Chain A
Amino acid sequence: AQKVTQAQTEISVVEKEDVTLDCVYETRDTTYYLFWYKQPPSGELVFLIRRNSFDEQNEISGRYSWNFQKSTSSFNFTITASQVVDSAVYFCALSEAGGNKLTFGGGTRVLVKP
């Protein structure tokens, strides 16, 4: 059965510090997709990135970057030079072949202090 683990429940940083969120997943499939979503205090879930299991290239988008390592079943997310607006709960999620249901990790709450 698929499983996503986000071991860090809460991270607190001061503005401009970098923060890395860990995500470890379990799946028996060779074809799968990984996602990150952001849930700001307003409550909506915002899509950040999708990565398929065959593409291990790291990705950078502005201050956000993602490190996918199949060998360790990890898909970590780094926010560089954090800002107060980055304060939110971040979820890692997995979908396996045969469907598109998302299995979410427990989320990591990031608090960026000014």
Chain B
Amino acid sequence: DSGVTQTPKHLITATGQRVTLRCSPRSGDLSVYWYQQSLDQGLQFLIQYYNGEERAKGNILERFSAQQFPDLHSELNLSSLELGDSALYFCASSPQGFGDEQYFGPGTRLTVT
């Protein structure tokens, strides 16, 4: 158990819908990261937050947004969902930033039908 929790574990929704994925980092970790794992794109970095502020952005679609709250939990919002958004979404956390090992949550498997 990495100490990072993600909810829900599975999510099935229809195209055009909006969903919210939730992540609680390990106790004491200030950085939260979101990654997407799909068969065609592999594991891709989406976005990083550090202590409530956006720190880095990857190949995150404009339909996707995220935030980190004062209690350090984070949410990833996916809207106008398309079939291609079906993937495993991971949240990870680390104490600070550069060089830290990241500990991953169990992931949320999103299926868009």
User: Do the beta carbons of A45 and B90 come within 8 Å of each other?
Assistant: yes
Q: Mark B34-72, 1 if CB is under 8 A from A, else 0.
A: 010000001111001000000110100000000000000
> Out of B42, B101, B103, B109, which one reaches A107, CB within 8 Å?
B42
A interface residues, how many (CB within 8 angstroms): 22
Residue of B2, B43, B45, B106 with most partner-chain A CB within 10 A: B43
User: Do the beta carbons of B106 and A43 come within 8 Å of each other?
Assistant: yes
> Out of B42, B88, B98, which one reaches A99, CB within 8 Å?
B98
> Out of B2, B42, B98, B107, which one reaches A100, CB within 8 Å?
B98
User: Do the beta carbons of A104 and B97 come within 8 Å of each other?
Assistant: no
Q: Which residues on A sit within 8 Å (CB–CB) of B31?
A: 100
Q: Which residues on B sit within 8 Å (CB–CB) of A43?
A: 88, 106-107, 109
User: Do the beta carbons of B42 and A47 come within 8 Å of each other?
Assistant: no
Q: With A44-B107, A101-B33 in contact, is A95–B42 under 8 Å at CB?
A: no
